[in-house]
Amino acid sequence: MKICKRAILFFLCASTLGAKDVRVKSMDALRKKLASSEYSIAVFYNTSRENMRNEVTKQKIKDLETMFKSMSKDSYYKDAKLQFIRADVDRRSLQIAPKRYNLTKLPAFVIFLGRQPLAALYGYIYRQQIDQFIAKNLKSRMDQAIKQANELRKKELEKAKIRAYNRPYWYGPYWYGGFYPYWWYGPGWRPYYRGWYW
């Protein structure tokens, strides 16, 4: 029964490992991350000195990063295994990213299917707008992924239950030993030692 409970906990935890907030530092790392997932959403932004000297822009960038991290922890996106990627194009190894993906403005939220960009959304926008953007482009795919994950989880849980109930039990040795001075308990008692009466 303990094995069954552990298996249930394992599969419930495993289902929450899909969504990730990944920060890439180069184009190679970006391509590898995109290739590792069926679909992803990446945000491209610029933390140049000019932007970070402007207090308003600096705060907007911080808010954007916080919002993006928070979205990656959403249970729906986790179950759908949507990958969240942050790319700071101020890094020398990522400066070609806007040109590579035809981004006309920063920040840019881009949905990828594998390595191929599917759609882009620009500007410092609210989470609700990003949720709608994701739903418009990925809802059917994510719902299908969740359905398949749930079916697989049910099958694995059934297997775990069968293994738990069919597991042989072994209680180990059951042995009493030692010397028992029963005469201490009054007349009529005989000493008993390991199955033998004196």
pLDDT tens-place string over residues 86-124: 999 988 899 999 999 999 999 999 999 999 999 999 999
- Interhelix angle 127-165/55-72, nearest 10 degrees: 30
Say if strands 108-113 and 83-88 run parallel, antiparallel, or are unpaired: unpaired
16-44: average pLDDT: 85
Are 160 and 168 contacting, i.e. CB atoms less than 8 angstroms apart? no
Confidence (pLDDT) at 124 = 93
Residue of higher predicted confidence among 145 and 12: 145
Confidence (pLDDT) at 135 = 95
On the CB side of 38, CA atoms within 13 Å amount to 10
Confidence (pLDDT) at 153 = 79
Predicted TM-score (pTM) of this structure? 0.69
Residue 198, pLDDT above cutoff 70: no
Averaged pLDDT of the chain: 80
CATH classification code of 2-155? 3.40.30.10
Residue of higher predicted confidence among 17 and 57: 57
Q: Which of 105, 101, 104, 90 is nearest to 51 (CA)?
A: 90
Residues 6+ apart with CB under 8 A from 7: 156, 157, 160, 161, 163, 164
Grade residue 184 by pLDDT with cuts at 50, 70 and 90.
low
Angle at 23 between CA 71 and CA 59, to 5 degrees: 65
Grade residue 156 by pLDDT with cuts at 50, 70 and 90.
confident
Residue 4, pLDDT above cutoff 80: no
154-183: average pLDDT: 63
Grade residue 168 by pLDDT with cuts at 50, 70 and 90.
low
**Distance (Å, rounded) from C-alpha 138 to C-alpha 80?**
10
Are 80 and 18 contacting, i.e. CB atoms less than 8 angstroms apart? yes
Confidence (pLDDT) at 8 = 45
Residue 15, pLDDT above cutoff 70: no
